[in-house]
Structure 1
Amino acid sequence: MERRLRFLYTLFIVAVLHTSRISTQDVDDFDADEATVEIENDPAPPIDVPYESPVVSDKSKVYLSDHFDDVAQFNKRWMKSRAMKEGISEDIAKYDGVWEIESPQKDGLTGDLGLVLKSKAKHAAIASLLTKPFVFNTKPLIVQYEVILQDGQECGGAYLKLLSEGPDTRNLAQFHDKSPYTIMFGPDKCGNDHKLHFIFRHRNPLNGSIEEKHCKKPKERLEDFFSDKLPHLYTLIVNPDNTFEIKIDRQVVNSGSLLEDFTPSVNPPAEIDDPNDKKPDDWDEREKIPDPEAVKPDDWDEDAPAQIVDEFATMPAGWLENEPTHIPDPNAKIPEDWDSEMDGAWEPPLIDNSACENAPGCGRWEPPLINNPNYKGKWRAPLIDNPNYKGKWRPRRIRNPDYFEDKEPFKMHTVSAVGFELWSMSKDILFDNIIITDDIQVSEQWAADTFDKKRQKIARDSESLVQRIANLTNEYPILWAVYIIVLGIPVVFILYLCCKPSSSAASLVKASTVSQVGEGDAPRKRKPRKE
């Protein structure tokens, strides 16, 4: 009996495990009359999601799109910088960071490649011309790209720069940190400072000077995006009405106005403090002053102490005046290397006197101090309203000579190239699927063809066994018949064996019946006993 139960229990466990190993291909070939279950001992391989390099349907709305899947096309389009950084020693001024086209280290789609910054602690720069310049006029600017911090991020950036049209963008081999840019956008981190940059350079219409405007910080937490080593999609949308949105993984994390949410402000104040205005010497800013007519009372003793000895205190009963609080350690021994001539006379260290443990105190008793009822401290005249008070002095306001009002900061300098100019203490930063467009639907479709598939694969690969079975069953309800057959039969057998009488018990019942009834059908009559 026990051997049968163990066998059936093992069969039941194997059936459950084998049912969970049914692949999607098996379900596609599933025949209602014949079910095939593949038995595998190895863990299930990651689920592959079909991937094809994305294609832009309407190229007129796109200024740059690159999936980095075509190495030959990449080599034609992108230029690695050969410039030197200014103001630092020549041995570290070179842009010698290594760029490669590679597939992701994990969770990658078949055929999907990305631009990888391989080196760390090196300056690296690479740039590409747009297919056509983007002019800030009546259409929005959408910048979108993916980042995978495959080695995490200790300190460094993963942002990109939209380079301003001009002489510098005509020679991208000299792209460096001082090359003029219009917008800088993307993640950056050093230590515990996590940032998502959106910086635009604004031109002063009065004097032509350029000033960087930094966007307010997002309210959302950014820490996980720098540590989870997953692909993340960064999207910047700048609208002609001077509004902006920043998204991570299609979720808005920051938004606002170019006019209101940047530091320093685009437009300076209309009035400023007069730098030549000086506070008059007789200007009195004191609201309260000591009463000049107040006189210290005759009984005010400034020399009285704050505390005095309690004259009514008595020494507690049991106080051991003749016992010191500390005594020499009787178990201490002079060190072997002690030199009396060099170290002086040796004295054992002091320890707490054990005789004082249960006493209220030891040693000389002194009465405690109490607050002095006659203490008043230093006398000061009471404060009264200042009759000469004129309020807090402020310089007079004058018209700001540098004032201007730019109502359309969206109309920035034309962009003609895009580039990465980075330094990082972490290696293997992967960039992928960059697109610059003026149509949000184009960027969303681009994300659906690339980023969404990556996250879909990661989600499927990370599903638990129970989730996979549930999802597969929802997709193919006919699997319920397989579950009933595979799992139901062992259960029926177990119930049958548990309820059926054992053979030994049946034999005992039969033997007992035969001994009572005999071979015939009628019961045996007992003969009367002779006396």
Structure 2
Amino acid sequence: VERGWVCCVLLLSSLAVGAAARKQLEVDISDFDEDMGLDAVMDEVHSDETDATASGKVTYKTPVPTGDVYFAETFDDGSLESWQLSKTVKGDADDEIAKYDGKWAVEQLKENKVPGDQGLVLKSRAKHHAISAMLSKPFVFQDEPLVVQYEVNFQDGIDCGGAYIKLLSDTGHLNLEQFHDRTAYTLMFGPDKCGEDYKLHFIFRHQNPLNKDLEEKHAKRADVDLKKFYTDKKTHLYTLVLNPDNSYEMFIDQSSVSRGSLLNDVVPPVNPPKEIDDPHDSKPEDWDERAKVPDPETAKPDDWDEEAPAKIEDPDALKPEGWLDDEHEFVSDPSAEKPEDWDEEMDGEWEAPQIPNPACETAPGCGEWKRPQINNPEYRGKWKAPLVDNPNYQGVWKARKIINPEYFEDLQPFRMTPIKAVGLELWSMTSDIYFDNFIITSHKEVADRWAADSWGLKKLVASANEPGIFAQLTIAAEERPWLWVIYILTVGLPVSLAVLFCWPKKPDEDYVYKKVDPPQPDTKGVRRRRPREPQTSCEKEEGTERL
């Protein structure tokens, strides 16, 4: 009974460990799959598509915007007629790489293809790329939100490079053939990665109302780990919502990853401080910032020896017996010979290489013996007076504040420079970066419907092609090696417990005990009779019958 209870308790413990591993795996697989109140849209649009996917067929139709938009592009016609390749060069690059000669193509995805769906693909590595397209009408930042959305798939992963877009400013003289890194833009949005730094950019250019200078403002970093979106080779949906009340929110796959205010959550801040340190103010020469000072009333004791060394020779140490004073620790190799091509005029006098002295191998040591060093009990170091509170302490000096001559207050940073075009100006060390389904609108629901007709179908196809549970477990363990321990415990522990605690115990009657003969005195030379083996009960009965 006791073994049964122990077995049950341990089995339940192993099942709990397995449940924890399963929960961790589910979290890994379902990151960012939480819906954002879009179930009604997704269910309505994809009900037929889900049935088709389940039956092994996918029906794709080029999405059509369901409301007013400023820009929409699917690339499903296979052409780039509405896009303009840059014909200029990058200003601050070497001539060999200054040209925007990176190749673009319209292709299907490498994996999880949706028949009929195509996208824009960056084809070259280690080259500058620049391509842009005009909006159907300029967007003016007034009373309507700005919603920017598009898809990205790092089909071969990403080493170093970006997949962000620029919304180009309506300056009155925008020429897309001359689109380059210094072309005026209003905001920049999208993923970027170099090394192990994974970013989701939202940068806007704010105009100083006093001097009309433009300064980049960077939104705070995303609140989640972005690595997954750069490495899983899946198509991800990036959305930026910018509202007239100066609030913003960024989404990946329709899940919020960052939100904030243009007034409070960007670096550097939109509005400068009202007061600044007076640049002409300086600390007085007699200003005392020392909180503690040496006690002037104390003196060094007369017996304080500052010259005493920290280490001295151990007076009790004795030279070990057998120490070879006359032998060197290293000697010249007697078997070494001067190379034939050795030129003493060029190479100097030849000397045989040094090797450990064979005579010292069995001795406790060779050469001059020196006593070991020990801490000096008389050492006290340099004397310093104890510290006391400084009666003249004035605190840490700070410059006086003055009114900031460059101060201004802009309470509506949302009202940026109008935008007239969308562009991709990129450098990447990885090729085959896939872009698709750009949309710029003022209505989040329009962007959601557009995503349901495009990215939502890609997601269904990718989900249908997901590997089995064992492949998922292996992939998860490759990213988190500690999961192998949980897998082994989950499988091996129940089996081991079943063998150790639940296997039937062998009854005592099945054991045969061997009788040990008692010790006999040593009778050397005396012939002894071999003791007779005791009779078993069966033998006794047989003997009785014979009688």
Fold conserved (TM > 0.5)? Answer: yes
Out of 407, 410, 423, which is 2:411 matched to?
A: 407
CA contact (8 A) 2:219 2:267 kept: yes
Distance 2:356 2:416 in 1: 79
Deviates more, 1:436-445 or 1:81-90: 81-90
Describe the SS at the equivalent of 1:108. coil
2:457 is paired with a residue whose SS is: helix
Aligned pair in 2 of structure 1 residues 441, 341: CA closer, same or farther (>3 Å)? closer
Change (3 A) 1:351 1:338: farther
Tell me the CA shift for residue 220 of structure 1: 2.1
1:59-458 superposed matches below 5 A: 60=68, 62-71=69-78, 74-75=80-81, 77-88=82-93, 92-169=97-174, 171-316=175-320, 318-321=321-324, 324=327, 326=329, 328=331, 332-334=335-337, 337=340, 344=349, 347=352, 349-351=354-356, 353=358, 356-357=361-362, 361=365, 364-458=368-462
- Evaluate the alpha carbon distance shift between residue 366 and residue 67 of structure 1 in structure 2; reply closer, same or farther with a 3 A threshold: same
Sort the Cα spacing of 1:309 and 1:142 in 2 relative to 1 into closer, same or farther, 3 A.
same
For structure 2, which runs of at least 5 residues remain unmatched after alignment? 1-50, 472-547
Partners in 2 of 1:325 and 1:399 — Cα distance? 78
Q: TM-score, normalised by structure 2?
A: 0.69
Instruction: Give the 3 Å change call, closer, same or farther, for CA 289–108 of structure 1 in structure 2.
Output: same
Greater shift, 250-259 or 222-231, is seen at 222-231
Secondary structure of 1:380 counterpart: coil
Amino acid at match of 1:456: L
Task: Check whether the contact 1:140–1:438 (CA below 8 A) recurs between aligned residues.
Answer: yes
Q: Rg larger in 1 or in 2?
A: 1
Alpha carbons 1:84, 1:93 under 8 Å: kept? yes
Q: CA deviation at 1:68?
A: 0.9
Q: Does the CA contact (< 8 Å) of 1:334 and 1:346 recur in 2?
A: no
CA distance in 2, matches of 1:124, 1:356: 69
Classify the secondary structure of the residue corresponding to 1:224: helix
Alpha-carbon separation, structure 2, partners of 1:371 and 1:326: 27
Aligned residue in 1 for 2:537: none
Alpha carbons of structure 1 residues 68 and 205: separation in structure 2 relative to 1, 3 Å: same
> Equivalents in 2 of 1:86, 1:344: separation in Å?
59
The number of residues matched between the two structures is 416
Aligned mates of 1:204, 1:211 — CA distance in 2: 8
CA apart distance, 1:273: 0.4
* Alignment-mate amino acid for residue 100 of structure 2: Y
Task: Name the stretch that deviates more: 151-160 or 330-339.
Answer: 330-339
Q: Name the stretch that deviates more: 290-299 or 155-164.
A: 290-299
Q: Which deviates further from its counterpart, 396-405 or 374-383? A: 374-383
Compute the displacement of 1:159 (Å): 0.8
User: Does the 8 Å CA contact 1:128/1:172 hold for their aligned counterparts?
Assistant: yes
Confirm or deny: 8 A CA contact 1:324 1:353 kept in the other structure: no
Q: What are structure 1's unaligned runs of at least 5 residues?
A: 1-27, 29-45, 468-531
Taking a change above 3 Å as real, the CA distance of residues 341 and 258 of structure 1, as seen in their structure-2 partners, is: closer
Relative distance call for 1:305 and 1:235 in structure 2 (3 A) is same
Counterpart contact for 1:147–1:430, Cα < 8 Å: yes
The code of the aligned residue for 1:124 comes to H
Q: Tell me the secondary structure at the aligned position of residue 97 of structure 1.
A: coil
Aligned mates of 2:366, 2:269 — CA distance in 1: 72
Identity over aligned residues, as a percent?
51
Q: Deviations over 1:221-255 (max 9, x none)?
A: 22332233321111111122222211222222222
Q: Distance in 2 between matches of 1:392 and 1:87?
A: 45
Letter in 2 for 1:52: K
Q: Which amino acid aligns with 1:393?
A: W
Please give the alpha-carbon distance, in whole angstroms, between the structure 1 residues aligned to 2:353 and 2:193.
Answer: 58
Q: Is the 8 A contact 1:356 1:362 kept in 2?
A: no
Helix, strand or coil at the partner of 2:458: helix
1:67 is aligned with what amino acid?
A: T
Q: Deviations over 1:47-78 (max 9, x none)?
A: 552211111222x2x21111111245x41x22
What SS is found at the alignment partner of 2:250?
strand
- Letter of the 1:96 partner, please give it: D
* Cα 1:325–1:353 shift into 2, 3 Å: farther
